[in-house]
Amino acid sequence: MIGPDIGFLVERIGVAVFALSGALVAARKGMDPFGFALLATVTGVGGGSLRDVLLGRPAFWIQDPTDPVICVAVALALYFHGRRRGLAFFGGGGRILVWADAMGLAIFAVVGSATALAAGAPPITAVVLGTLTATFGGIIRDILAGDVPLVLHREIYVTAAFLGAAVHAGAVSAGLPGFIAGAAGIGSAFVLRALAILKDWSLPPYVEAGR
């Protein structure tokens, strides 16, 4: 755990920024308000739901549906704000989508790892689950919207999620306090993803020898 109260707050932020990224995609597609709500909710709670289901437990929002409500609120706020005043505040929507996605990616990599460790899974599982669930929300958002998943782009993406989950699981296994491990994991994932966005960093894409 990242520390019960701060961890709780951080996870809500992750849900909200992923929901924002879903709503921004809905805006680009010209969807109606309920389309906004659906895309925001699926993106916001999708990764965490997959994590819980793979761990063999009910999705985290079943008993307390605060998170889906946050997602719907974010979606409707963006819909009505954008219709009345435009999305200039959001840099037209394109740039903020990338950053909201980056923040959600970093947070969910660590929350996924922390949840797996708390459930008694070994550290390698925590890294796999953190990476999978951090990338899944964005993947399902892009597939539902009919876009090529961001994950396929060559900029460092899966790599950042992996780094965040690995730093967190490694730090916890090394005995560091949850708060430090969580901050280190989120920070390293976000910084790596930010550098990839700002400096167009990427890992070498696959090119076959002799071509």
Q: Which residues contact 101 (CB under 8 A, 6 or more apart)?
A: 17, 18, 21, 138, 150
- The whole-angstrom separation of Cα 126 and Cα 108 is 12
Stretch that binds its own copies, among 23-31, 95-103, 165-173, 175-183 (CB under 8 A): 23-31
Question: Angle CA(140)–CA(142)–CA(144) in degrees, nearest 5?
Answer: 65
Q: Does 86 bind its own copies (CB under 8 A)?
A: yes
Q: Does 53 bind its own copies (CB under 8 A)?
A: yes
Which structure tokens are listed for 187?
């920070």
3-state DSSP: the chain helix, strand, coil percent, rounded to 5? 75, 0, 25
Q: How far is CA 128 from CA 3, 17, 95, 112, 122, in A?
A: 22, 22, 28, 9, 10
Q: Does 199 bind its own copies (CB under 8 A)?
A: no
Stretch that binds its own copies, among 8-16, 100-108, 176-184, 196-204 (CB under 8 A): 196-204
Q: Does 4 bind its own copies (CB under 8 A)?
A: no
- The whole-angstrom separation of Cα 10 and Cα 182 is 10
Taking the least distance from each CB to its own copies, the nearer of 17 and 72 is: 72
Binding mask 128-167 for its own copies (x = CB under 8 A): xx-xx--x---x---xxxx-xx-xx-x-xxxx--x-----
Shortest reach from residue 42's CB to its own copies, in Å:
7
Q: Does 122 bind its own copies (CB under 8 A)?
A: yes
Q: Does 95 bind its own copies (CB under 8 A)?
A: no
Stretch that binds its own copies, among 49-57, 98-106, 166-174, 186-194 (CB under 8 A): 49-57
Q: Does 191 bind its own copies (CB under 8 A)?
A: no
Q: Is the dihedral of CA 42, 47, 51, 54 positive or negative?
A: positive
